[in-house]
Amino acid sequence: MASRGILAASDRQPVVKTQGFLPFADAPIYYRTSKTLSDQITRLNQQLERNEVKLDYDSTNGYLRSVLQHLGIPVSSQTLVYSKTSLQFQHISPATPRALYFNDNVYVGQVLNAKSLELIAFDATQGAVFYVLGEQKVSAPRFERAQLDCVQCHIAVATHGIPGVIVRSVLTNPAGYPKGGAAVHTMGQETPFADRWGGWYVTGSPTAETHAGNMKTGNAPTEFGRNLPSLKGVIDTGRFLSDQSDIVAHLVLAHQTQMHNLITETNYRYRLGAHADSERARKSGQEFTGNSEETRRQYQAAAEATLRYLLFTNEVPLAAPIQGGSGFTADFAGLGPRDRRGRSLRDFDLQNRIFKYPCSYLVYSDAFDAIPAPAREYLLNRLFEVLTGRDQSHDFAGLSAANRRAILEILVDTKPGLPAEWTQFLQQQAKSRYTTPGSTPAPLQR
């Protein structure tokens, strides 16, 4: 996340500096100048302009605690990274790590002694939108749109070529600089544990599964590759909102960042292809009659990748049970929604995998619902094929019949706007069980 931009002082959308190259600035994305942003930061800025809310400042953490409260981000989501791999690297070290906090839609970073908070908000149609908030106390604090520095890192292969989020793992030297020649891993649910969390602190209950976090140095006597119960005695925890860098928050962060990127990529691939088709028709003087086969291939390929990640088909299994210590596990699971049997896609497993029901909670996000209709309908149809067992291909072989059924039932109960056939399928199955000769009538269980 980065640091430059100008925000209009009204309810209008942010206006940013125009110098420099910015991908997707032109039609159909208009990333620089879109007037339709509706992300959480945009909405909070509008509330600040109307004096409906106020950001409070404290001498230790500036506006951070107030920002988190207004955005609905739990302190328990705190993760701490000490590698010098971001824009304000000169202030980051094993003694002064960068603190990251997140909810389903927003990521907030604070670097001690730096000039600004760094924020990424996911807009339903535009993907990752970058903001900063000055760390100096002022009478009317406002979030500023930042782009030109941020996209140097945040539009890359690791983000699937769209404005996105990256969490990386790299081994560092005692000062926090990446070691020469060390491998850099973009973390997601498929990353082997041995390659995760290089340059990060990791707290939680002891586990037999080692990782690359918690560097051992003379100044920070941590145990390399093992979870710490807390960071007391390792860093000055009084300068942070928590003494934790919770392993469960780490697991969710790695999943969520790549899930956000894939959803955005599906959105972009359809819009870019449909625009190119329309332009070709216009230039040839023909009437635009629909998407080309090439456009369909592009957005369907993106949707297939999104589907597989959504269902955790590539998840690395846990070798041992995992338990955090910050309260994040309860905070996250408590958000729901829950079906009539009390089940939620936010329920954790943490014995063999991250979630009890392996389907991403970001299926509820505005970004998922904002995928253009043809691509969204394709994605939902493919999800239905997998959950009903019609697709038994190898990619989904790890998804048991019980889990397919449970996810289908949870979604029918909790996600508005699903095609009618989802409910009809469950009703027909219930009717079949009820009317089969010799069977015991049973109500549909959800």
The DSSP element (H or E) to which 144 belongs, if any, is: strand 144-145
- SS3 state of residue 446: coil
Q: What pLDDT, on the 0 to 100 scale, is given for residue 149?
A: 57
Q: What pLDDT, on the 0 to 100 scale, is given for residue 11?
A: 33
> pLDDT-derived band of residue 226, with 50, 70 and 90 as boundaries?
confident
Fill in the DSSP letter of residue 97. Answer: P
- Asked whether the beta carbons of 69 and 103 are under 8 A apart, the reply is no
Average pLDDT, the chain: 88
Q: Report if residue 360 sits inside a domain.
A: yes
> pLDDT-derived band of residue 445, with 50, 70 and 90 as boundaries?
very low
If one counts the domains in the chain, the total is: 1
As a whole number of angstroms, the distance between CA 346 and CA 362 comes to 10
Q: Report if residue 319 sits inside a domain.
A: yes
User: What pLDDT digit, counting tens, does each position of 383-415 carry?
Assistant: 999 999 999 999 999 999 999 999 999 999 999
**Of 129-133, 252-256, 281-285, 336-340, which gets the smallest average pLDDT?**
281-285
Q: Report if residue 218 sits inside a domain.
A: no
Q: Report if residue 443 sits inside a domain.
A: no
As a whole number of angstroms, the distance between CA 229 and CA 251 comes to 17
- Angle subtended at Cα 178 by Cα 174 and Cα 180, rounded to the nearest 5 degrees: 105
As a whole number of angstroms, the distance between CA 354 and CA 68 comes to 25
Statement: residue 234 has pLDDT above 70: yes
- Domain boundaries, position 411: 270-282+290-431
Q: Using only C-alpha atoms, what is the Rg of the chain? A: 23
Residue 60 phi, psi dihedral angles, 5° rounding: -90, -50
Statement: residue 435 has pLDDT above 90: no
State both tokens at 41.
């930061």
Q: Report if residue 171 sits inside a domain.
A: no
> pLDDT-derived band of residue 157, with 50, 70 and 90 as boundaries?
low
> pLDDT-derived band of residue 434, with 50, 70 and 90 as boundaries?
low
Q: What pLDDT, on the 0 to 100 scale, is given for residue 132?
A: 95
Pick from 20, 24, 48, 198: which is nearest to 123 by CA? Answer: 24
User: What pLDDT digit, counting tens, does each position of 52-82 carry?
Assistant: 999 999 999 999 999 999 999 999 999 999 9
Q: Report if residue 336 sits inside a domain.
A: yes
Q: What pLDDT, on the 0 to 100 scale, is given for residue 316?
A: 96
Which of the pair, 9 or 82, is modelled with greater confidence?
82
CA atoms within 13 A on the CB side of 373: 3
In sequence order, the 6+-apart residues with CB closer than 8 A to the CB of 232 are 243
Q: Report if residue 98 sits inside a domain.
A: no
> pLDDT-derived band of residue 90, with 50, 70 and 90 as boundaries?
confident
Q: What pLDDT, on the 0 to 100 scale, is given for residue 222?
A: 56
